[in-house]
Amino acid sequence: MPDFDVAVIGAGAAGLSVAAISAGLGLKVALFERGRMGGDCLNTGCVPSKALLAAALAAAAARRAGRFGVRLPEPDIDWAGVRAHVTGAIAAIAPNDSEERFTAMGVTVVRAHARFVGPRTIEAAGRRFTFRRAVIAAGSAAAAPPIPGLADIPYLTNESLFHLPERPEHLVILGGGPIGLEMAQAHARLGCRVTVVERAAIGAREDPECVAPLREALEADGVAIVEAAEVAAADRDGPGIALRLADGTCIAGSHLLVAVGRVPRLGGLGLEEGGIAHSPAGIATDRGLRSVTNRRVWAAGDIAAPEGLGPRAFTHLCSQHAGVIARAMLFGLPAKVSYDALPRVTYTDPEIAQVGPTEAELRAAGRSGLSTLRWPLAENDRLVAEGRAEGLVKLIADAKGRLLGASVVGPGAGDMAGVFALMIGQRLPLSALAGAVLPYPTAQEAAKRAAGEFYTPRLLSPVTKRIVGLLKRRP
Ligand SMILES: Cc1cc2nc3c(=O)[nH]c(=O)nc-3n(C[C@H](O)[C@H](O)[C@H](O)COP(=O)(O)OP(=O)(O)OC[C@H]3O[C@@H](n4cnc5c(N)ncnc54)[C@H](O)[C@@H]3O)c2cc1C
Ligand SMILES: NC(=O)c1ccc[n+]([C@@H]2O[C@H](COP(=O)([O-])OP(=O)(O)OC[C@H]3O[C@@H](n4cnc5c(N)ncnc54)[C@H](O)[C@@H]3O)[C@@H](O)[C@H]2O)c1
């Protein structure tokens, strides 16, 4: 008999979710973690980045208070205090992901590097563990672009950024994706000079109508943005760093943050010994997240590269993966992942939220009969009252009024994304949102108004007017 029903490699968002469900269902579970419990999200990702953004927002709010007739002096940023807030947020959440909590659930937690030594055996801490089923949830790490000289200079990634003892004087950020943009705004608002160096365009994956207000906000925060930049070399520059661009420009700063995407942590897992197929994108799985070569093995989280979909890196996706694995691996049901209603949010100010595909992606996929519905946040009473009515809700629907994609830019865009995820996931018609009674005044009303735009032309059509004209003669 195998030692464990389920063996999980990695105690990040994905591994913890799988372990909790499996143990909750009464299975014998082993969980291997070589680093910190909680993985990237808790220690070096979502939590510290959002904590830093919260500190930055407080500084920005103080600077903006004058518009309400509340004049405050320029905020005095105490870097040690900011760091204490970040580490405090991690410490407050850590018990949820702790070894103690999982041990209490009945999980055997092994704090060591784990590797497959055969298709049904894992080795860790000098011991061998046989398993009935295994889940690889080893996550991803910051990618290092092949720039000459980069490997020879000290640069930061998400693993080191949140532990800087001193505030960077001039943070140069390579990459204008979500990590680059969130960290650019956070550091600029906390008093650092910031330059973003981006190969293509910032926020390139997002709807351009959403990126435009964010670009303005970043520039207003003092972030310098260099786009279409080809970095030819990286060097030391005294105590700092310098990026030399192909056009001859030199961008020098005190610190360099590399945020150009993620690579799966495949190294040292013994995938060959385990008979587990993989590619540079991650563990090759079917849509049920099951290894295409070792049918006792599944993959979850950033490291999973499901067939035809590829990897994605979001904590909420880890829960979806865990749910699919629970149904497929534990109950033998035909569960599959779908990213049709997957939300993502860049937590800048303004936030950018996307649920499902963007308009450009839908059009590139050849979808016809699409309706594009917009509602500007300048028309939202609550946001006007709060002096932050910049942004847009943009919805893309099919001819029958079913929502396919939603793009939002503005304050609280991420909170609005939940409704759109529900609508797309459950295939609800726009009338469900357009007809809902929402509390006034809330930002969410902008979502309802955008949905209502699908029906407005129909409602005010000459035919409807003629019908109403006839009906008015009723006694
Ligand atoms: C700066 C930043 C901000 C982010 N912000 C957000 C956000 O706001 N919202 C969002 O949804 N997502 C965000 N993400 C993405 C999110 O953090 C990841 O998608 C998520 O943490 C992935 O979880 P995971 O369980 O797949 O991997 P991880 O969290 O990386 O966990 C994998 C674990 O496996 C362990 N491990 C690896 N190999 C082995 C081995 N051989 N043996 C034992 N242990 C091993 C590692 O030590 C690690 O703890 C952010 C990421 C970054 C970097
Ligand atoms: N709020 C969130 O949900 C959140 C926040 C941060 C990260 N994440 C997750 O982490 C992932 C990784 O984020 P990321 O921002 O590192 O990656 P990314 O792939 O999303 O963006 C990287 C950016 O770097 C640019 N780039 C690549 N090589 C370059 C080079 N040599 N020089 C200059 N620019 C270069 C790309 O054009 C791209 O715009 C995200 O895709 C997301 O899944 C999520």
Contact 251, 174 (CB under 8 A): no
Instruction: For the chain, report the end-to-end CA distance as a whole number of angstroms.
Output: 82
The last residue of one of the domains, among 260, 288, 320, is 260
Segment holding 306, helix H or strand E: strand 304-306
At 264, list the tokens.
């799966």
Instruction: Indicate which atom in ligand 1 lies nearest the CA of residue 161.
Output: 1
Q: CA 283, CA 306: separation in Å to the nearest integer?
A: 8
Query: How are strands ordered across the β-sheet holding 282-285?
Result: 278-279, 282-285, 304-306
Across the strands, what pairs with 396?
A: 372, 405
The last residue of one of the domains, among 260, 287, 302, is 260
Confidence of residue 18 (pLDDT cuts 50, 70, 90): very high
Residue 314: inside a domain: yes
Residue nearest to atom 8 of ligand 1 (CA): 46
Non-local CB neighbours of 26 within 8 Å, separated by 6+ positions? none
Residue 460 has pLDDT above 90, yes or no: no
Is there a single domain that holds both residue 19 and residue 117?
yes
Is there a single domain that holds both residue 189 and residue 200?
yes
Is there a single domain that holds both residue 130 and residue 11?
yes
The pairing of beta strand 403-410 with beta strand 392-397:
antiparallel
Residue 465 has pLDDT above 90, yes or no: no
Q: What is the DSSP secondary structure assignment for residue 440, as one 8-state letter?
A: S
Residue 457 has pLDDT above 90, yes or no: no
Is there a single domain that holds both residue 133 and residue 269?
yes
Residue 380: inside a domain: yes
DSSP 358-395: -HHHHHHTT--S-EEEEEEGGG-HHHHHTT----EEEE
180 labeled part of a ligand binding site: yes
* Count of structural domains within the chain: 3
Whole-number pLDDT of residue 193: 98
Residue 91: inside a domain: no
Residue 461 has pLDDT above 90, yes or no: no
Distance 398 CA to ligand 2 centre (A): 30
Contact 29, 108 (CB under 8 A): yes
Instruction: Indicate which atom in ligand 1 lies nearest the CA of residue 301.
Output: 26
Residue 88: inside a domain: no
Is there a single domain that holds both residue 407 and residue 447?
yes
Least confident of 147-156, 389-398, 459-468: 459-468
**Mean of the per-residue pLDDT values of the chain:** 97
Q: What angle do CA 176, 182, 187 make, to 5 degrees?
A: 105
Is there a single domain that holds both residue 270 and residue 122?
yes
Residue 50: inside a domain: no
398 residue type, one letter: D
- Which of 289, 262, 271, 450 shows the shortest CA–CA distance to 373? 450
143-to-146, 156, 231, 334 alpha-carbon distances in Å: 9, 12, 15, 34
394 labeled part of a ligand binding site: no
Contact 197, 251 (CB under 8 A): yes
DSSP 18-69: HHHHHHHTT--EEEE-SS-TTHHHHHTSHHHHHHHHHHHHHHHHHHHGGGGT
Residue 464 has pLDDT above 90, yes or no: no
Mutation to probe ligand 1, out of 46, 158, 320 (largest number of atoms < 8 A from CB): 46
Q: CA 318, CA 108: separation in Å to the nearest integer?
A: 21
Residue 40 has pLDDT above 90, yes or no: yes
Residue 65: inside a domain: no
Q: Which domain holds residue 105?
A: 4-37+98-141+263-330
236 residue type, one letter: R
The last residue of one of the domains, among 245, 260, 275, is 260
CATH number, residue 365 = 3.30.390.30
pTM of the predicted model as reported, rounded to 2 decimal places = 0.97
Distance 139 CA to ligand 1 centre (A): 5
Is there a single domain that holds both residue 290 and residue 424?
no
Q: CA 99, CA 113: separation in Å to the nearest integer?
A: 15
Neighbouring C-alpha atoms within 13 Å toward the C-beta of 442: 11
Non-local CB neighbours of 64 within 8 Å, separated by 6+ positions? 387
CATH number, residue 211 = 3.50.50.60
202 labeled part of a ligand binding site: no
341-to-38, 164, 168, 445 alpha-carbon distances in Å: 26, 37, 38, 21
28 labeled part of a ligand binding site: no
Segment holding 122, helix H or strand E: strand 121-124
Residue 80: inside a domain: no
ipTM of the complex: 0.98
Is there a single domain that holds both residue 127 and residue 8?
yes
Is there a single domain that holds both residue 293 and residue 411?
no
Residue 470: inside a domain: no
Is there a single domain that holds both residue 270 and residue 355?
no
Is there a single domain that holds both residue 12 and residue 107?
yes
What is the tens place of the pLDDT at every residue in 364-392? 999 999 999 999 999 999 999 999 999 99
| Mean pLDDT along residues 195-209 | 98
Is there a single domain that holds both residue 426 and residue 382?
yes
Q: CA 171, CA 175: separation in Å to the nearest integer?
A: 12
What is the tens place of the pLDDT at every residue in 71-94? 999 999 999 999 999 999 999 999
Distance 259 CA to ligand 2 centre (A): 6
What is the tens place of the pLDDT at every residue in 271-291? 999 999 999 999 999 999 999
Non-local CB neighbours of 81 within 8 Å, separated by 6+ positions? none
